[in-house]
Amino acid sequence: MRSTDMVAIQGFGYLGQALSSAEIFAVLFGGAMRYGIDRFVLSPGHYVISLYAAAAETGLLDPAELESYGHDGSVLEAIGSERTPLGDLVCGSLGQGLSGAVGFALAAQLAGEDRDTFAFLSDGEMQEGQVWEAAMFAGYRRLDRLIVVIDANNSQVDGPVTSVTTIEPLAEKWRSFGWHVSEVDGHDVEALWQAFAAGRGGGAPLVVIARTEILGRLNAIPPTVDGHFIKIDSELKAAILKELGAALA
């Protein structure tokens, strides 16, 4: 709901990403990750709207600051950057986040530190070869304190991922690179909790493939909108908030 408010103020923004990843961020920032101890990498910076919303909900960010989302001069830029005041690494150029997370995991391993590294990735960026360079290396180095969650919402700029190329079978790909794989309904909070809790350690990193829908499961948003970068008016905002409110009630 906070993301809807942020997008509504400017009339456009990355609301689709927020809706597809809301439950993932809720679980991560609701306790699956020890924020401030574990490290958090946000690879697709377009999802930073979810980070802002989760941070506001968990006291890491003043909710009043959300109003500045995407405004000139605001540090809450619409695409994450070095100015983003949250997370340990927030990328903007797709495909680089997992490598950065591998760097964090290696550093923690070298120092013998008790901390995990969480990396949020999107399915579209699996088309970048660097993701697989990093996946191969992490599997080989047995970085079992590295946890990846993929928002598999089948969405990229030009439309559904399946209309551009194929990244499937995702689970088999990651498994063959030496990872523990957990594939869940990414809108099912309980399933996400269990995925992050299970399958850890044993010399293999963990990837949670969260199957989601770009607009969440909202009926209020017409299926014809561009899910990657949504424009909304006050009428649509009201309808979205009403539906979200009813779902949370």
Partner 1 sequence: MREPPYQTVLKPYGAALVDVARQRPEIICLGADLTRQTETDLFRDTIPDRFINIGMAEANMLSIAGGLARAGHTVFVNTFGVFSTRRCFDQIAMSVAYPNLNVKIVGFMPGLSSPGGPSHQAIEDVALMRALPNVTVVEPADAIETTQVVAATAQHPGPVYLRLKRGEIPLIFDDDHRLDLGKAQILVGGGTADVCIVASGMMIPAALAAARTLAEHGVLATVVNVPVIKPFDAATVTAAARHCRLVISAENHTVVGGLGSAVAEAMAEAGVAAPLRRIGIADTFAEAGSREYLFAKYGLNTQSIVDAVWRGLAINRPVPAAPIIETSPGAYAPV
Which positions touch partner 1 (CB under 8 A)?
Answer: 41, 82, 88-89, 91-93, 96, 99-108, 110-111, 129-130, 133-134, 136-137
Cα dihedral 12→16→18→19 (10° resolution): 130
Least distance in Å: CB of 96 to partner 1? 5
* Number of Cβ within a 10 Å radius of residue 57: 16
Judged by beta carbon, residue 143 or residue 191, the one nearer partner 1 is: 143
Judged by beta carbon, residue 119 or residue 230, the one nearer partner 1 is: 119
Which residues, at least 6 apart from 73, have a Cβ–Cβ distance to it below 8 Å?
none
Whole-angstrom distance, CA of residue 148 vs CA of residue 120: 6
Report in angstroms the alpha-carbon separations of 87 from 36, 45, 61: 9, 11, 12
Q: Are 151 and 123 in contact (CB under 8 A)?
A: yes
Judged by beta carbon, residue 8 or residue 51, the one nearer partner 1 is: 51
Least distance in Å: CB of 90 to partner 1? 10
Tell me if the bond preceding 205 is cis, omega within 30° of 0.
no
Q: How far is CA 138 from the centre of its chain?
A: 20
Judged by beta carbon, residue 18 or residue 143, the one nearer partner 1 is: 143
Residue 122 has φ and ψ, to the nearest 5°, of -110, 160
Least distance in Å: CB of 93 to partner 1? 5
Judged by beta carbon, residue 106 or residue 241, the one nearer partner 1 is: 106
Least distance in Å: CB of 117 to partner 1? 8
Least distance in Å: CB of 40 to partner 1? 12
